[in-house]
Structure 1
Amino acid sequence: MINKILSIFKKESNKNEKSKIENSKNSKKREIYIDYNYCKNCLACYRACKLNVFDLVDNRVKIVNKENCVFCEACLKVCRYGALKILN
């Protein structure tokens, strides 16, 4: 019974992710940006991103795969310092 309930929630989650990806493909030229004046290198964005947009370079969070970003804004939601921006 619990497995059935979990599978329903998983399907809903997958539908939401697919719609976010489709919306991002239709978006105008957007770009993710880290403002290092605010970034405290807490790694929250690195952990939140499931698409490997961020990586550690010289012990600093950097955007290494911009083309992987689908603008789901998971990283923006976890950034406590307001260091991440999406530029249009």
Structure 2
Amino acid sequence: MLSKILSIFKGNSKKDTKKDIRKKLDKIIEIDYNKCKNCLSCYRACKNNVFDIENSRIVVKNEKNCTKCGDCVKACRYGAIILYND
């Protein structure tokens, strides 16, 4: 359990509040916008309508639709998709 928590927060600042930590633990999928190039690969690869485009940017719109199949992770050549394990 501790290793899971540490892997989620690796590289984060110590300024995370308890609310921020709880929010991150509930995440299924996330986009690292420091790596994302808006190439639409994840959007095209997802069969479950998890991603959407808002203001010319890919966003996780329907996180609850995510089945963790990993198709978006495989499609993203920039490593911008973070798929959290249970």
TM-score bracket, shorter-length normalisation: 0.5 to 0.7
Provide the TM-score with structure 1 as the length reference. 0.65
Residue from 29, 33, 41 that aligns with 1:32: 29
Alignment size in residue pairs: 60
Task: State which of 65, 82, 85 in structure 2 corresponds to 1:68.
Answer: 65
Would you identify which runs of 4 or more consecutive aligned residues in structure 1 move more than 4 Å?
none
Mark the runs of 5 or more structure 2 residues left unpaired by the alignment. Answer: 1-25
TM-score by length of structure 2 reads 0.66
C-alpha change, 1:41 and 1:68, in structure 2 (3 Å) is: same
Which structure: larger Rg? 1
* CA deviation map 1:27-47 (0-9, x unaligned): xx6610100000000000000
Q: What secondary structure, in the 3-state scheme, does the structure 2 residue paired with 1:77 have?
A: helix
Q: Give aligned-pair identity as a percent.
A: 55
Higher relative contact order (CA 8 A, sep 6+): 1
CA distance, structure 1, for counterparts of residue 78 and residue 38 of structure 2: 10
